[in-house]
């Protein structure tokens, strides 16, 4: 647990020092939302109907920018090899890094909500539930994203390779997150929200466990 906290603190400190990158990712996501609204047109009903899908699509596209660079500091000057020589297990390195990525993506997701409300008239009174869905969804993106980020860290075209590996895997995440968010925005008369949230929880349990098991093999090869 100490190794996880130390790794988490290190990554959060690096993110704070490079906070301009978070601002750039947020700007990219908000620009994507703006372009999607232009594609739908001035139909307020259609905009609100598709708001959840566009929010998560913008967040998914934004996540590739941050996840692709999540191991940039570690790959420079062979810092990752130095971390592996420390008396800290690779599992702790993975969970610390994944938690930091989750925090960054959740921050971007929360930052995109006001743009979604303004552009798509997609307000909801169930704000705590929406924040919970965003945290679950971003955690589900970060678990495999961190693993694939380590796998592609040494590849020159990692920014292009990471989406090719990540996008097919996270289709259940997008499905569950979009449906849960849409139910929070449009209403849930049939009580379907719990099932979609359960899908996100199960995906998180599986892939956070698999990431911890596979990370050592990925970084040592």
pLDDT value of position 77: 58
pLDDT value of position 94: 83
User: Residue 95 in contact with residue 4, Cβ under 8 Å?
Assistant: yes
25 vs 32: CA distance, rounded Å: 11
* φ/ψ of residue 177, rounded to 5: -70, -40
pLDDT value of position 219: 66
pLDDT value of position 81: 59
90 vs 164: CA distance, rounded Å: 25
Residue 92 burial (10 A CB sphere; 0-12, 13-18, 19+): buried
pLDDT value of position 135: 93
User: Residue 59 in contact with residue 109, Cβ under 8 Å?
Assistant: yes
pLDDT value of position 136: 94
Q: Which parts of the chain register pLDDT below 50?
A: none
pTM exceeds 0.75, yes or no: yes
211 CB neighbour count, 10 Å cutoff: 23
pLDDT value of position 86: 60
């Amino acid at each position: 647990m100490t190794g996880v906290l130390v790794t988490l603190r290190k990554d959060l400190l690096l993110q704070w020092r490079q906070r301009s990158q978070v601002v750039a990712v947020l700007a990219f996501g908000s620009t994507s939302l703006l372009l999607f609204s232009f594609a739908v047109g001035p139909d307020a009903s259609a905009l609100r109907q598709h708001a959840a899908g566009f929010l998560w699509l913008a967040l998914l596209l934004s996540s590739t920018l941050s996840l692709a660079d999540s191991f940039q500091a570690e790959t420079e000057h062979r810092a990752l090899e130095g971390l592996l020589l420390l008396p800290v297990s690779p599992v702790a390195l993975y969970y610390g890094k994944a938690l930091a990525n989750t925090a960054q993506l959740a921050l971007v997701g929360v930052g995109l909500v006001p743009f979604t409300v303004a552009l798509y008239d997609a307000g909801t009174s169930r704000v705590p539930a929406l924040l919970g869905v965003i945290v679950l969804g971003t955690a589900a993106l970060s678990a495999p994203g961190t693993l694939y980020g380590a796998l592609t860290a040494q590849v020159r075209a990692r920014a292009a390779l990471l989406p090719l590996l990540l996008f097919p895997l996270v289709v259940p995440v997008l499905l569950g997150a979009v449906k849960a968010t849409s139910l929070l925005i449009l209403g849930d008369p049939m009580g379907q929200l719990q099932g979609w949230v359960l899908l996100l929880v199960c995906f998180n349990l599986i892939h956070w466990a698999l990431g911890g098991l596979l990370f050592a093999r990925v970084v040592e090869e």
